[in-house]
Amino acid sequence: MSSRWSELIPRPRSKFVRVRCPDCGNEQVTFQKVSSTVKCNVCDGLLVEPTGGRASFRGEIIAELE
């Protein structure tokens, strides 16, 4: 019965990710499909750029959160 419900209820296609800044090492949580640029809260460096679909990550992706 649970497999039937999983077909009826759609799952999200994107997730939140934890990204590490390449300049200062600060970790920040952001969305995979961003619509505007995401900058680091500490050093104001560029972390994520929108591309129309999945984002282009400048920093290192540490973990995908659910």
Check residue 3 and give its pLDDT. 65
55 φ, ψ (degrees, to nearest 5): -80, 160
Q: With H, G, I as helix, E, B as strand and everything else as coil, classify residue 64.
A: strand
Task: List the chain domain ranges.
Answer: 14-65
Inform me whether the pLDDT recorded for 10 exceeds 90: no
Q: Where are the alpha helices (DSSP H) in 1-66?
A: 2-8
Q: What does the pLDDT look like over 21-65, one tens digit per residue?
A: 999 999 999 999 999 999 999 999 999 999 988 999 998 999 988
Q: Is-contact 60 21, C-beta < 8 A?
A: no
pTM: 0.75
Mean pLDDT along residues 7-20: 87
Q: Which CATH architecture has domain 14-65?
A: Single Sheet (2.20)
